[in-house]
Amino acid sequence: MIELREVSRTFQVGGEPVHALVEVSETIGPGEHVAIMGPSGSGKSTLLHLIGCLDRPSSGSYRFEGREVAGLDEHELDEIRQRRIGFIFQAFHLVPRLDARANVELPMIFAAIPRAERREKADAALAAVGLSQRAEHRPSELSGGERQRLAIARAVAMHPAVLLADEPTGNLDSRSGGTVLELMERLNDDGLTLLVVTHDPRVARRADRILILADGRIARRVAPGELAEALAEWGLGEEPR
């Protein structure tokens, strides 16, 4: 499903090259749950943006569902982002003036989904995250956990193949964060491929496997039971950062 081969991403900052990713190679299969960890500046978000087709590699090969991303035009990339990949962010990115249902429907408007179908998909997505009774509430009327569940509903309403989550519990208390993680894991159990960027070892341990990035490279690939040793080796400690 996701095939990275010697992928690098270099940015120019003040006329100097900054190597955000360096020759990253990894394969992630359908239905996997993978956590991505590493210190700030290690390339976690850059990697997620490349996988989500929000950015392109400077060099190397990225194939998504068998298609070489570098060969796709903007229309084809839009189709992938709208229909095959869902995104969840720490800051929710909800539209304050729209109610919950309208927030879920918004990406479907850009995808030219007919109005009746948008309503049906939005209501099904809200039901899946337990927000049917909050469909007409605006984000400001929802708790933090409810806002993140709303963001998940928006991300999965189009039934994507992959869900990319960047610190999805970073703004939540432990109880709300646990509810959000359980919801994403149920989606993963139903076949959705799940990639989660996190600083929190407790979140990472829930994945099938964990990638630890350092200086733009994959420094370690570990199983959940090996995480404590790997974090100690990299001086990251056991407490969430």
pLDDT single digits (tens) 168-178: 988 888 889 99
What confidence tier does 241 reach under pLDDT thresholds 50, 70, 90? very low
For the segment 41-76, what is each residue's pLDDT rounded down to a tens digit?
A: 999 999 999 999 999 999 999 999 999 999 999 999
Q: Residue type at 168?
A: P
- The DSSP secondary-structure symbol of 41 reads T
pTM of the model: 0.91
Residue 76 belongs to what H/E stretch? Answer: helix 74-83
The tokens for 175 are: 């109880």
Given a contact cutoff of 8 angstroms between Cβ atoms, the answer to whether 172 and 180 are in contact is: yes
Output the pLDDT for position 160: 95
Given a contact cutoff of 8 angstroms between Cβ atoms, the answer to whether 196 and 34 are in contact is: yes
Question: Phi/psi at 96 (nearest 5 deg)?
Answer: -60, -35
The tokens for 139 are: 């984000």
Starting at the earlier edge strand, list the strands of the sheet with 217-222.
85-89, 162-166, 193-197, 33-37, 209-214, 217-222
Q: Beta-carbon neighbour count of residue 144 at 10 Å?
A: 15
